[in-house]
């Protein structure tokens, strides 16, 4: 176990003016508090916070962060309190330790909603002070290094959590070294057989190519010396998880991988990066399509480097990364390399420590936090955040030259939402490199994208399955919810207009404002949408606006219906809701005043049809279904008996077919066919020749001579359905055909 003076010496190597007193106090306090506690391995518990602190010294963190690492388990696992730590170490460190304590209690691998909510808390805590993330990741890394000592049942759960959340988060924060080690250990526990196979094969390949790697290093070093470039050259081998993931994603064998080995060239300045690149490309041939300049266009996590692949010495394909020493430090330590923890009096983040610049990693985190504020439900947030954590990137440009970084596989829709939510919501088309392209086009590095907009556009719900960014998915879901809410609001307004009219009152939206508190709704649109969804009865709204209002229908109509029986339901419904009975109105297609117009499922109301269907020409009634809108029944449907004593749910509706928008409607028929080969084909031929469509078909009952089929059809109207039934009856393969009502 590391001694007290050894920890101080580690920090002194990169920070000579270290506050020794703070480190000594934190070391002694944590050791005393953890006392004789033991870890699962049998080691003293204090060895864990000490190792976490040691990991942070490798990142050259300041003494305050090291002290927090020493203290991070004290509130959770000992008698220490927040007040005690505030008194001894100051409120800022107390806040950090308490924040880490809350995170320690999180069980990210749990039910999906809980996991998502806990991820929210993690990111929110990180957004307040990035040191929370650094200590948390170091804590997780040491726990992974000692995972062998955990009970077997917990190992896989912790490894999956690390692979799902912590490793990608480290990568997004630019901490590549941390990410690779977390992935490597997690891979060993998640898929031990694959890990053993890949590791053994990599060792074998390395042994076979050891001489070649040395020759390439020497050739590159000689080239840079010839051009007077001060450069360090070092070979590197892909990690087992990275190799395995690439083989799976691209269905490649080991022999097909060209980048198992690579070389890192580290120089002094940015100018030297491009001088080194020029020397390499003028000496050896570049492999087309294998050049990427992340210096001019850094990755979202602040990674900067030049990548190129050449056909190098001995005709070997050689992958090269060229970067400065500062870039190399950022590539390894990410946000930890950017943070300057001292009182500079300059620009600071929310925690009071200075930062060298507004980094891309911080920008990504800020955008993620903005999504939290936009109110996605926890499951959506978890899905969207994981999507963004895992994706590689492409870089595209607006027509004005603004750079937009997107996940690989992104579409122009993702691009539009990345520019601004309003641009995405009004997007109707896109030009990619000057050509009009489908909105599903996968964007590539360097594409220039121009979004074509229309104020009349509402983003289709189907876009959600096309886009890959969390921001686009969240915005599309919100727009879809708003559109549905608008539909319900419109339906609610019509229902209330009719209810007020029956009571001899004049309906205005403003009349609802004074009674919002009585209806427990925050605004007028909420009231209307609740009525439209069936969550709030129109009679309740009437009583709120007019306290002395009494609904005569509820007290008189239902008993009358029960007394007269179902045989008189048509007349009762017609009397109560102005639905035309056969005797009351011969012209069944004539519009009725006050009736809600129904166009079909494509109309502007949240409408669905009963299982037996309804077609234009039928007399119809609507039943409010809480949460789903209204269900349309033909007036002769026996299913309406279920709503006999709920007259407040009945809605007067009428057909209002838009001739410009052709739409088929559902109808259910029963066909008794002769049980002989070819009967089903004959029936299908009759349906097809009549321009109808079979939606579903089931065999209800089969006898030696006959088969009864239940067919859900889609037809234009009642005349179309009757013509089809007539032709089915005339067919030699059919014994009987009739419409099913309920």
CATH of the domain spanning 665-739: 3.30.70.260
Q: What is the pLDDT of residue 671?
A: 92
Lowest mean pLDDT among 213-222, 309-318, 420-429: 309-318
Q: How confident is the model at residue 594 (pLDDT cuts 50, 70, 90)?
A: low
As a whole number, mean pLDDT of residues 99-116 equals: 57
Burial classification of residue 192, based on how many CB atoms lie within 10 Å of its CB (0-12 exposed, 13-18 middle, 19 or more buried): exposed
What residues form DSSP beta bridges with 450? 431
Of residues 687 and 157, more confidently modeled: 687
Across the range 270-286, mean pLDDT stands at 93
656 classed as catalytic: no
CB 391 within 8 A of CB 407: yes
Long-range contacts of 373-376 (CB under 8 A, 24+ apart): 374/474, 374/478, 376/474, 376/477
pLDDT at 212: 85
Q: Which option is the CATH number for 4-192: 1.10.150.120, 1.10.3210.10, 3.40.50.920, 1.10.760.10?
A: 1.10.3210.10
- Residue 582 pLDDT greater than 70, yes or no: no
Mean pLDDT (whole number) for 370-392: 56
Angstrom distance (rounded) from CA 4 to CA 26: 10
Task: Return the residue matching tokens 């997007």.
Answer: 427
Reported as a pLDDT band with limits 50, 70 and 90, residue 585 is very low
State percent of the chain over pLDDT 90: 27
Cβ contacts of residue 505 below 8 Å, gap of 6+?
542, 545, 546
Is the model's pLDDT at 190 over the cut of 70? yes
Considering 77, 92, 215, 540, which one is annotated as catalytic? 77
In the chain, what percentage of residues exceed pLDDT 70? 80
pLDDT score, position 465: 86
The confidence band for 449, taking pLDDT boundaries of 50, 70 and 90, is very high
Ranges of CATH 3.10.20.30 domains, the chain: 360-460
Q: What angle do CA 98, 101, 103 make, to 5 degrees?
A: 115
CA pair distance 495, 531, nearest whole angstrom? 8
Contact, 337 vs 280, CB < 8 A?
no
Which CATH architecture best describes the domain 198-333? Answer: 2-Layer Sandwich (3.30)
Task: Quote the mean pLDDT of the chain.
Answer: 80
* 737, two tokens: 């055909």
pLDDT of 209 higher than 90: no
**pLDDT of 348 strictly over 60:** no
Q: How far apart are CA 367 and CA 351, in angstroms?
A: 18
Residue 580 has pLDDT above 90, yes or no: no
Contact (CB, 8 A) for 331 and 303: yes
389 or 69, which is more confident?
69
pLDDT band at 124, cuts 50/70/90? low
- Is residue 252 very low, low, confident or very high in pLDDT (cuts 50, 70, 90)? confident
In the chain, which segments carry CATH 3.30.70.260?
Answer: 665-739
Q: What pLDDT does residue 377 have?
A: 57
Mean pLDDT of 281-300: 87
Kindly report which listed range (28-37, 114-123, 417-426) carries the lowest average pLDDT score: 114-123
Q: State the pLDDT at residue 280.
A: 93
- Which of 158-172, 240-254, 409-423, 691-705 is predicted most confidently? 409-423
Residue 352 has pLDDT above 80, yes or no: no
Is 422 a residue of the active site? no
Summarize the confidence of residues 638-648 as an average pLDDT.
83
> How many CB atoms within 10 Å of residue 98?
18
CATH superfamily of 360-460: Beta-grasp domain (3.10.20.30)
- Residue 40, pLDDT > 70, answer yes
Q: Give tens-digit pLDDT for 155-187.
A: 988 898 888 778 888 887 778 889 999 999 999
Per-residue pLDDT, averaged over 334-349, amounts to 49
- Position 257 pLDDT exceeds 60: yes
Beta bridge partners of 354: 340, 348
The predicted model scores a pTM of 0.56
SS3 736: strand
Report helix, strand or coil for 505. Answer: coil
Residue tagged active-site, from 20, 58, 76, 464: 76
């Amino acid at each position: 176990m590391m001694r007290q003076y050894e920890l101080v010496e580690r920090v002194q190597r990169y920070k000579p003016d270290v506050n020794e007193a703070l480190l000594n106090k934190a070391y002694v306090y944590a050791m005393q508090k953890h006392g004789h506690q033991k870890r699962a391995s049998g080691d003293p518990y204090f060895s864990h916070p000490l190792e976490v602190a040691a990991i942070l010294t490798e990142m050259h963190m300041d003494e305050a962060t090291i002290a927090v690492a020493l203290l991070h388990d004290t509130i959770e696992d000992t008698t220490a309190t927040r007040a005690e730590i505030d008194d001894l170490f100051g409120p800022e460190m107390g806040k950090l330790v308490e924040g880490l304590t809350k995170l320690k209690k999180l069980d990210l691998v749990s039910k999906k909603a809980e996991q998502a909510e806990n991820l929210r808390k993690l990111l929110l805590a990180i957004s307040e002070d990035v040191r929370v993330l650094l200590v948390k990741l170091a804590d997780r890394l040491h726990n992974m290094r000692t995972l062998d000592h955990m009970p077997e049942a917990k190992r896989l759960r912790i490894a999956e959590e690390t692979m799902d959340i912590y490793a990608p988060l480290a990568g997004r924060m630019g901490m590549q070294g941390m990410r690779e080690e977390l992935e490597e250990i997690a891979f060993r526990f998640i898929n031990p057989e694959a890990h053993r196979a890949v590791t053994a094969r990599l060792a074998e390949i390395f042994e076979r190519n050891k001489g070649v790697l040395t020759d390439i290093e020497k050739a590159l070093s000689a080239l840079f010396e010839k051009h007077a470039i001060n450069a360090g050259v070092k070979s590197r081998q892909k990690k087992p998880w990275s190799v395995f993931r690439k083989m799976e994603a691209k269905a490649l064998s080991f022999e097909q991988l060209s980048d198992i080995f690579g070389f890192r060239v580290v120089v002094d300045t940015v100018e030297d990066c491009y001088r080194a690149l020029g020397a390499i490309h003028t000496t050896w041939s570049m492999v087309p399509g294998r050049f990427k300049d992340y210096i001019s266009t850094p990755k979202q996590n602040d990674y900067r480097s030049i990548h190129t692949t050449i056909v190098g010495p001995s005709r070997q394909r050689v992958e090269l990364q060229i970067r400065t020493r500062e870039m190399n430090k950022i590539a390894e330590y990410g946000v930890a390399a950017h943070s300057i923890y001292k009182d500079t009096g300059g620009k600071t983040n929310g925690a009071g420590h200075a930062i060298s610049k507004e980094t891309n990693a911080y920008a990504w985190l800020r955008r993620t936090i903005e999504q939290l504020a936009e109110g996605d439900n926890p499951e959506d947030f978890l899905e969207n955040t994981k999507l963004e954590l895992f994706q590689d990137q492409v870089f595209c440009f607006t027509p004005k030259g603004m750079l937009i970084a997107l996940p690989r596989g992104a579409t122009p829709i993702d691009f539009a939402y990345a520019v601004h939510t309003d641009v995405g919501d009004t997007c109707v088309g896109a030009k990619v490199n000057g050509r009009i392209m489908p909105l599903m086009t996968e964007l590539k590095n360097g594409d220039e994208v121009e979004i074509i907009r229309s104020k009349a556009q509402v983003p289709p719900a189907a876009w959600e399955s096309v886009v890959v960014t969390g921001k686009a998915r969240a915005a599309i879901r919100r727009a879809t919810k708003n559109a549905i809410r608008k539909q319900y609001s419109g339906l609610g307004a019509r229902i209330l207009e009719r209810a007020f009219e029956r009571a001899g009152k004049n309906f205005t939206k403003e009349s609802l404002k004074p009674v919002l508190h009585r209806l427990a709704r925050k605004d007028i649109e909420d009231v209307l949408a609740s009525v439209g969804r069936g969550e709030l009865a129109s009679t309740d709204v009437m009583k709120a606006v007019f306290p002395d209002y009494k609904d005569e229908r509820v007290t008189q109509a239902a008993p009358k219906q029960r007394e007269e029986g179902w045989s008189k339901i048509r007349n009762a419904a017609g009397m109560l809701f102005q639905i035309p009975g056969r005797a009351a109105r011969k012209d069944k297609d004539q519009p009725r005043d006050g009736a809600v117009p129904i166009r079909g499922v494509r109309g502007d109301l949240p409408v669905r049809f009963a299982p037996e269907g309804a077609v234009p020409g039928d007399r119809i009634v609507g039943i409010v279904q809480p949460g789903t809108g209204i269900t349309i029944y033909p007036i002769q449907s026996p299913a309406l008996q279920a709503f006999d004593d709920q007259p407040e749910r009945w809605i007067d509706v009428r057909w209002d077919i838009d001739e410009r928008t052709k739409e088929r409607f559902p109808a259910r028929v029963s066909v008794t066919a002769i049980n002989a080969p070819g009967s089903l084909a004959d029936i299908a031929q009759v349906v097809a020749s009549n321009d109808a469509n079979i939606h579903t078909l089931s065999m209800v009952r089969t006898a030696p001579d006959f088969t009864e089929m239940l067919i859900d059809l889609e037809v234009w109207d009642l005349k179309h359905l009757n013509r089809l039934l007539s032709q089915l009856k005339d067919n030699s393969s059919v014994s009987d055909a009739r419409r099913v009502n309920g």
